[in-house]
Amino acid sequence: MTDQLILEQQDEAGRAAIWRARRSTRTYRGRAGFTLLLAAVTFLVVAASAQHIGGYAVSQGVSSLIAALPGIVAAIAAAFVLGMAASAFLKSLAASRNDDVYAARALGDEASTRSWKALAWIGALMIVTGGAWFMVVNDAAVSRTFFDLALIRDSVGKVLRAFGTNILIFSVSAVFILAWALVIALARTLPGAAGRPLRVLAIAYGDLFRGLPAIITIYLIGFGLPLTNLPFLSDLSTTSYAIIALTLTYGAYTSEIYRAGIEGVHHSQVAAARSLGLSHAKTMRYVVVPLAMRNIIPPLMNNCISLQKDTALVAIIGAIDAFNQAKIIAANNFNLSAVTTVAILFIAVTIPQARIVDKLSERDRRRMRAGG
Amino acid sequence: MAFVEIDHVTKHYDALEVISDFSLAVDEHEVICLIGPSGCGKSTLLRCVNRLEEISSGEIRIHGDRITGPGVDLDRLRRDIGIVFQGYNLFPHMTVLENAVLAPTKVLGMGRREAEEKAMAFLERISLSHKANDYPDRLSGGQQQRVAIVRALMMEPMLLLLDEITSALDPELVSEVLDIVRDLAAGGMTMILATHEMGFAREVADRICFLQAGKVYEQGPPAEVLGNPQGERTQAFLRSLRKAGRL
Ligand SMILES: Nc1ncnc2c1ncn2[C@@H]1O[C@H](COP(=O)(O)OP(=O)(O)OP(=O)(O)O)[C@@H](O)[C@H]1O
Ligand SMILES: [Mg+2]
């Protein structure tokens, strides 16, 4: 069956010619031209918007320097992007004029990268400009309602103090959740017939509290337990009820994360551990859980962020957290700017964690690449 | 002008120089076997040739056309250079046939029916047509590796890179994979193989290159390099293989 596996045969010169024909030089003229056009439009839109919005801000009594500054920055950025697009287009032209194929390829490559970069900037600038318009249309209704700077300044102290409650609820329940969820997850992964009763219980718990909206759990526990007259349980603070409710809800979610991590550990690892004589418990303790931990840290952190935000739900049972405090201020002033303060606080504490999650996932990806 | 010219290529990973000032010219229809101790840079070199790895300096030319450096259309380049990995890397969510027709239909725009006919013809020749609609996990290692080779051949590559394609296989499965390579060599396919199968290298290679610390330490026809090695390192390497009963 010689030469049957190769379908076409040609002489060497023919093949070399085919090879070279396929190695054409790409100049990316279309992409660069389109980018240039778009960059020009963006520049016009940004400049016109900056002038209009700045003028409006001045008419509202904002000092002309502060009003003009964002517009100037945006316009400079747009001009810079226009320059980038123009240089991409010039590179592309130069690429098609250059007779040296390698130089032409390098120019084409640069044209392509610069075009993509410019396109990304164009997208960002357009979105920011759109946002700016949203703030000023209808006589700046949006910025007046949400961003009354004087009110934000006055309310920040009170709101910040109330935010302490959120942090307390968050940190205590986070610790409880991590431990409680591990218990549930281990119960769910108990092997064999002997493990069945606990397994079923754990499944039922998970189904119940994942199905139940967190706000309802908080409501039922916060208002229900005090009515039961049970010793101890009926006279806790609202903060404690919030912690119990969040632990129950998030315990169910988090145990699923643990379980996915535990079951994601390849069965060959379990086989290796069991073959060395380690019991199920010891296999879990020394091999499976440590391996699972690596994979679940990013989703756990995401859960953490989500928990932090859900601490605002405790407002419903009357705990004076930051959101509740802000609502009181908002009701007294007919303006939501104090709530904006809370929003900013939540975002500010979340961002660092979001970045950590990104870092961890990136590290994992790198390790996967190195391994593969 | 040789078909593939690897010209003073150097490759670092950070401070570690994996390939140092490496030069090799491969003619059309030539079969080159790269041998050498583990970690000497065989896989890295192959991955540089189809630019899965970027070289640090030097250049690689094919038919005189430089394929390293900026602006080379990599997707087009890789259509013409096939590579088969040690771990097969078949797509587990596709059947054998789907694995084979994916690239021709999605990259070359070949019609589905035409691609399937072509794939079936290949599978017929490696006696695997009855497995066409099975998923890879139902195949033995040797069968999977043969499908992986077919998947590469579907693109009608001008150059085929084979990286230790038998080292994950049981000894009795090795020969069925090597049969294909033997056929390809007889059919005139230009190939660069990294291999630990000295017996096979002796039989199929036009030239054997012994790599040592990222350089060609010794090269020549199989009979000379394996039968009468000149270099001290080559001799030591072959002696250790002989001691392990693998030569
Ligand atoms: N991504 C990487 N980062 C850092 N070093 C690497 C990387 N990939 C490979 N190396 C190093 O490069 C060297 C050559 O590796 P390569 O895989 O090419 O060896 P090889 O000759 O194929 O070995 P083997 O016969 O075991 O397959 C090794 O020392 C290896 O540790
Ligand atoms: Mg290797």
Q: Are A2 and B125 in contact (CB under 8 A)?
A: no
Interface of B with A (CB under 8 A): 28, 62-67, 69-73, 76-77, 79-80, 118, 122, 125, 153, 156, 158, 180, 183-184, 186-189
User: Where are the domains positioned within chain A?
Assistant: 21-146, 151-369
pLDDT of residue A372 exceeding 50, the answer is no
- Output the CA–CA distances (angstroms, integers) from residue A214 to A164, A173, A344, in the order listed: 21, 14, 23
Tens-level pLDDT at each residue, chain B (247 residues): 788 999 999 999 988 899 988 999 999 899 999 998 888 889 999 999 988 888 999 999 998 888 888 888 888 888 889 999 888 788 888 899 999 998 888 888 889 999 999 999 999 888 888 999 999 888 988 889 889 999 999 988 999 999 988 887 777 778 888 888 888 888 889 999 998 888 888 888 999 999 988 888 888 998 888 888 888 888 888 888 888 776 6
| Contact partners, residue A27, CB within 8 Å, separation at least 6 | A92, A93, A95, A96, A104, A107, A108, A111
Q: Say yes or no: CB of residue B18 within 6 Å of ligand 1.
A: yes
Beta bridge partners of B5: B25, B61
Q: What is the pLDDT of residue A1?
A: 39
Q: What is the pLDDT of residue A3?
A: 43
Q: What is the pLDDT of residues B20-42, one digit of tens each?
A: 889 999 998 999 999 988 888 89
Q: Are A246 and A310 in contact (CB under 8 A)?
A: yes
Q: Do A4 and B63 touch (CB under 8 A)?
A: no
- CA nearest B43: which of B168, B194, B215? B194
- Output the CA–CA distances (angstroms, integers) from residue A27 to A94, A98, A101, A305, B174, in the order listed: 9, 10, 11, 46, 46
CA–CA gap between residue A136 and residue A312 (Å, rounded): 29
Q: What is the pLDDT of residue B9?
A: 92
Q: What is the pLDDT of residue B194?
A: 93
The amino acid occupying position A142 is V
Q: What is the pLDDT of residue A282?
A: 85
User: Which tokens is A137 given?
Assistant: 């249309």
Q: Are B18 and B11 in contact (CB under 8 A)?
A: yes
Q: Say yes or no: CB of residue B41 within 6 Å of ligand 1.
A: yes
Q: Do A2 and B122 touch (CB under 8 A)?
A: no
Q: What is the pLDDT of residue A175?
A: 93
Phi, psi (deg, nearest 5) at residue A344: -65, -40
Query: If residue A357 lies in a helix (H) or strand (E), which one and from where to where?
Result: helix A337-371
Q: Identify which ligand lies nearest to the alpha carbon of B196.
A: 1
Q: Are B80 and A19 in contact (CB under 8 A)?
A: yes
pLDDT of residue A12 exceeding 80, the answer is no
CA–CA gap between residue A217 and residue A222 (Å, rounded): 8
Q: What is the pLDDT of residue B4?
A: 92
CA–CA gap between residue A58 and residue A39 (Å, rounded): 28
pLDDT of residue A369 exceeding 70, the answer is no
- Per-residue pLDDT band for A134 (boundaries 50, 70, 90) equals confident
B159-163 vs B190-194, strand pairing mode: parallel
The whole-angstrom distance between A193's CA and the closest CA on chain B is 30
User: What is the radius of gyration, based on Cα positions, of chain B?
Assistant: 18
Is A23 in the B-facing interface, judged by CB distances under 8 Å? yes
Ligand 1 atom closest to residue B47's alpha carbon, by position in its atom list:
18
Write down the pTM of the prediction.
0.71
Average pLDDT, chain A: 84
Which of B62, B69, B186 is opposite residue A102, by nearest beta carbon?
B69
Residue with the bigger pLDDT between A11 and A341: it is A341
Percent of chain A at pLDDT exceeding 90? 26
pLDDT of residue A352 exceeding 80, the answer is yes
Residue with the bigger pLDDT between A63 and A314: it is A314
Q: What is the pLDDT of residues A204-238, one digit of tens each?
A: 999 999 999 988 999 998 888 888 777 777 777 88
Phi, psi (deg, nearest 5) at residue B110: -70, 145
Query: Which DSSP category does A359 fall into?
Result: H
Q: What is the pLDDT of residue A2?
A: 39
DSSP character string of chain B: --SEEEEEEEEEETTEEEEEEEEEEE-TT-EEEEE-STTSSHHHHHHHHTTSS--SEEEEEETTEE-SSTT--HHHHHHHEEEE-TT----TTS-HHHHHHHHHHHTS---HHHHHHHHHHHHHHTT-GGGTTS-GGGS-HHHHHHHHHHHHHTT--SEEEEESTTTTS-HHHHHHHHHHHHHHHHTT-EEEEE-S-HHHHHHH-SEEEEEETTEEEEEE-HIIIIIS--SHHHHHHHHHHHHTT--
Cα(B226) to centroid of ligand 1, in Å?
A: 24
Q: What is the pLDDT of residues A74-119, one digit of tens each?
A: 889 999 999 999 999 999 999 888 888 888 889 999 999 999 999 9
Q: Are B35 and B198 in contact (CB under 8 A)?
A: yes
CA–CA gap between residue A241 and residue A255 (Å, rounded): 21
Ligand 1 atom closest to residue B40's alpha carbon, by position in its atom list:
21
Protein residue with its CA nearest to atom 13 in ligand 1? B39
pLDDT of residue A6 exceeding 60, the answer is no
- In a 10 Å sphere around its CB, with 0-12 CB exposed, 13-18 middle and 19+ buried, how is residue A33 labelled? middle
CATH 2.40.160.20 fits A151-369, yes or no: no
Q: Are A285 and A292 in contact (CB under 8 A)?
A: no
- Output the CA–CA distances (angstroms, integers) from residue B98 to B83, B93, B147, in the order listed: 18, 9, 11
The whole-angstrom distance between B184's CA and the closest CA on chain A is 6
Q: Say yes or no: CB of residue B40 within 6 Å of ligand 1.
A: yes
Q: What is the pLDDT of residue A224?
A: 84
pLDDT of residue A5 exceeding 60, the answer is no
